[in-house]
Amino acid sequence: MAQPRTTTRGLEPREAHEARIGSGAHVRGRIRGEGSLVIEGHVEGDLAIRGDLTIAEGASVKSEAVEAHAVTIAGALDGDVVATGPVRLAPGAQVSGNLRGSAVAIDDGARFAGRLDCDFDLPPELGGASRAPQGEARARVAARR
Amino acid sequence: MASTVIGAGITIEGEITTDEDVVVAGTVRGKLSAKEAISIEHGATVEADVVGGSLVVAGTLTGNVTATERVDLQPGARVVGNVKAARVTIADGAQFKGNVDMDV
Amino acid sequence: MASNVTIIGRATRVRGRLTGAADLDVQGFVEGEIAVSGDVTIDATGMVGAGVQGRKLVVRGAVKGDLVGEEAVLLEEGARVVGDVRAPRVAIAPGALVRGYVQTGQARAPRAQATTSAAKPAATRVPAPAAARGAATAPAAVRVASASGTAATTAPGKAQGAGAARRPPPPIVPALKKAKGQIAKRKER
């Protein structure tokens, strides 16, 4: 269906619902969109979409940053995720990058290396709010002894 | 039934404070203080001052003991330290070296 | 006699280190480091103010410190962790909250800044058999890449955990390797 090699810059899905980058496609460039996106092929470049992002099994994305609402990864991602919704790594996922979202879940079997930055407070016995960058660094230094 | 159990393979270096019962079968070095009953089992090693409601010792204890109710040293217990409690029993076969103060 | 389980009860506070060969169930508050060779469970009421090392760590409570599991670290709903998480297998359930660096044993070579910390924990640990189970889901390329550069101390055939951290940046996904090749070609132009 898709051509084996497609180089596209500034791809913008126009429909409000799902856009798809098929398994044979290679995209290099920035992707922006209002809707959701399913990536089954290979993307190199930043993504910023309003809707949900799915990186399917077998797909790969290499990016500085991937921005979306909910993010589900079953394939490979080399890049940071900044999500306004939940982030989930399925068992076959291979992700190298930092994750930020309303919630982050990593299924058993997923491969991951990177930072997680959920927004929450520890109980007061453990120092309570340590959200400020310096507070966090201090807390981690203290925890590491 | 105990709510805190320091198992046989565990070593705690520091201070233990609890409102519950404690059973020590492992090693504690530092300080142990419980509101209720403390049991130092056979094989346990406690090198700490111990404060509790009541204390039963069958293991090794080096440190001072203060109990609001009673302290019982069972056969096989080896205790070096001062004991202060309303009631104290030292069973035949227990080894003890220290002062006993029953004037609580 | 029950297996070697140590229970730090809900109303108990330990200010100090906890070490030994035993399983541990923390329902209370441990202010010092935990380093045991057995499994560690931090219950929903449990709180630990320093690092935790064990074979399999299951966390439902709060931890301010690094979690290092020889076999796995499982963060369940209700877990609140500020600290790094490292184990051959890491699972974070929805509802578990983490702030820190997380690395699974078979992660592909992370970006430059993380590589140094990646090599550190794996070097001293013998990966547990569970690591091999995680490997079963991986594409064949992973096993090929991680079989090389394995430390002599690790168990034969189960070297995924240590090998993964040491090997040079591998093309894990065969498709990605192809894509990288094409990108490299493009860059040459």
Span C127-165, pLDDT tens digits: 444 444 444 444 444 333 334 443 334 344 443 444 444
- Give residue C162's Cα distance to chain centre: 11
Token representation of residue B98: 């220290």
Residue of C nearest to B32 (CA): C14
Residues A32 and A89 reside in one and the same domain: yes
Q: Which residues, 6+ apart, have CB-to-CB distance to A137 below 8 Å?
A: none
Distance from CA of B74 to the nearest CA of C (A): 20
Report the domain count for chain A.
Answer: 2
- Render the burial of A79-117: b for 16+ CB within 10 Å, e for the rest: bbbbbebbbbbbbbbbbbbbbbbebbbbbbbbbbbbbbb
Query: Quick check: C61 and C40 in contact, CB under 8 A?
Result: no
Residue of C1, C3, C15, C39 best to disrupt the B interface, most CBs of B under 10 A? C15
Indicate if A58 and A108 belong to the same structural domain: yes
Quick count: other Cβ atoms within 10 Å of Cβ B80? 14
pTM to 2 decimals?
0.71
Facing C176 at nearest CB: one of A42, A97, A139:
A42
A72 shares a domain with A27: yes
Which residue segment(s) compose the domain that B52 sits in?
A: 4-101
The verdict on A22 and A61 lying in the same domain is yes
- A125 and A140 inside one domain: yes
A129 Cβ under 8 Å from any chain C Cβ:
no
Q: Within this chain, do residues A83 and A142 fall inside the same structural domain, yes or no?
A: no
Do both A140 and A74 map to the same domain? no
- Other beta carbons within 10 angstroms of residue A75's beta carbon come to 25
**Could you give the number of structural domains in chain B?**
1
State how far the Cα of A71 lies from the Cα of A87, in Å rounded to an integer. 5
Neighbours of A50 (CB within 10 A): 15
| C/A touch flag: 3 or more CB pairs below 8 Å | yes
* Residue A37 sits in the same domain as residue A56: yes
Contact A106 C134 (CB under 8 A): no
Q: Could you read off the pLDDT of C88-129 as tens digits, one per residue?
A: 999 999 999 999 999 998 444 445 444 444 444 444 444 444
Nearest by CB to C98, from A97, A104, A139: name it: A104
Residue A87 sits in the same domain as residue A144: no
Q: Count residue pairs from A and C with Cβ separation < 8 A.
A: 153
> Contact partners of C by the rule of 3+ C-beta pairs under 8 A?
A, B
Residue A113 touches chain C, beta carbons under 8 Å: yes
pLDDT in tens, B37-80: 999 999 999 999 999 999 999 999 999 999 999 999 999 999 99
Three-state SS annotation for A86-126:
EEEECCCCEEECCEECCEEEECCCCEEEEEEECCCCCCHHH
One-letter amino acid at C103 equals Q
Q: Which residues span the domain enclosing A134?
A: 119-145
Do both A109 and A124 map to the same domain?
Answer: no
Judgement on whether residues A17 and A84 belong to the same structural domain of the protein: yes
Distance from CA of C105 to the nearest CA of A (A): 7
Q: Which amino acid is at C114?
A: A
> Of C3, C4, C14, C52, which to mutate for an interface test with B (greatest number of B Cβ within 10 Å)?
C14
Distance from C-alpha of B26 to C-alpha of B11, rounded to nearest angstrom: 6
Give Dmax over CA atoms of chain A in angstroms: 59
Task: Please indicate whether residue C118 or residue A67 has the higher confidence score (pLDDT).
Answer: A67
Cα gap C5→A18, rounded to integer Å: 52
Beta bridge partners of residue A106, listed in sequence order: A89, C92
**What residues form DSSP beta bridges with C13?**
B17, C29
